[in-house]
Amino acid sequence: MLTMIEGLPDHVIGIRITDKLRAEDYETQLIPLVNEKLASHQKLDLLCCIEGEWKGMEAGAVWQDLRLGLGRIGHWARMAIVSDIKWMENAIKLFRLFSPDELRHFGSANYEVAREWVCELERASIRIALDSEAGILVLEPVAGKALSEDDFEAVGKTISSYLGDHDRLRGVLIYSRQFPGWQSVGALFAHLKFVNSVHDKISKIALVTSSPMGTFADHILDPLMLAKVRKFEYDQRDEAMSWLQS
């Protein structure tokens, strides 16, 4: 049985599951609500609370679940599953490696933490600063926060706006002590898509970092990209900026 959780922000869908899920739960409640909210939101967040011992789904509900998940695969941002079922916790840990969205498990005692996470509006994991006159973009990932699809979308919009009035971007400076990683497989693909779409519009890329990933990128990406890629140590930001400006 499925009931809706009220009192959440408009971009969040909250559901509470008890006993066995039925196909009519999806058909009459969840799918219509998802379609309605997607009319005003590009992406949605999900708070799913499973109470007690879940008894699974009817055959029709399995199809509706696949339809809702796979059919809307690009429209889910964060998904919080609140449950004390051990096998489900382990399954989520495995599935999140392949999930294109942000998927997390929370125990029932951490319901408020899960609710706060999916309701959070400020999610930026990267600071973006563009010097339009110099044609240099500075990207500074927030310490301890992995990169998301939204981060690459924001960077892409900034570059696209600049390229609307200019032929090329003079340089990009990426300033991060350690490589923050990606929040999901979807974020990794968004990164690759972003690199592919702009690499021929950038003259130079300076990686200012102490991370071994910087050295890897310097040696591997430089021959593959039209932009010149060079690594600098974390305390060499000024030298990196001078190189971009030269």
Q: Assign domain 2-119 one CATH number from 3.30.750, 2.60.40, 3.40.50, 3.40.1130.
A: 3.30.750
Q: Look up residue 5 and give its DSSP letter.
A: P
3-state secondary structure of 44: strand
Mean pLDDT of 180-198: 69
Domain spanning 126-245, CATH class? alpha beta
At 240 the pLDDT is 94
Mean pLDDT of 85-102: 72
pLDDT in tens, 45-83: 889 888 866 655 544 444 445 445 544 455 778 888 898
Give the C-alpha separation, 42 to 204, whole Å: 33
State the greatest distance between any 2 C-alpha atoms of the chain, in Å, as a whole number: 66
At 60 the pLDDT is 47
Q: Which of residues 13 and 25 earns the better pLDDT score?
A: 13
The per-residue pLDDT of the chain, averaged, comes to 78
At 100 the pLDDT is 56
At 63 the pLDDT is 41
Does residue 111 register a pLDDT over 90?
Answer: yes
At 239 the pLDDT is 95
Q: Burial-class residue 46 by CB neighbours within 10 Å (0-12, 13-18, 19+).
A: buried
Q: How confident is the model at residue 12 (pLDDT cuts 50, 70, 90)?
A: very high
Of all residues in the chain, the percent with pLDDT exceeding 90 is 19
Taking the domains of the chain in order of start, what are their residue ranges?
Answer: 2-119, 126-245
Least trusted range by pLDDT, from 27-31, 77-81, 109-113, 186-190: 186-190
Least trusted range by pLDDT, from 41-45, 74-78, 175-179: 74-78
Of all residues in the chain, the percent with pLDDT exceeding 70 is 75
Query: Could you give the C-alpha distances from 175 to 139, 208, 227, 228, in angstroms and in order?
Result: 6, 5, 17, 16
Note whether 113 and 119 are within 8 A (CB). Answer: no
Using alpha carbons, select from 233, 228, 230, 236 the residue that is nearest to residue 209. 233
At 7 the pLDDT is 92
At 114 the pLDDT is 93
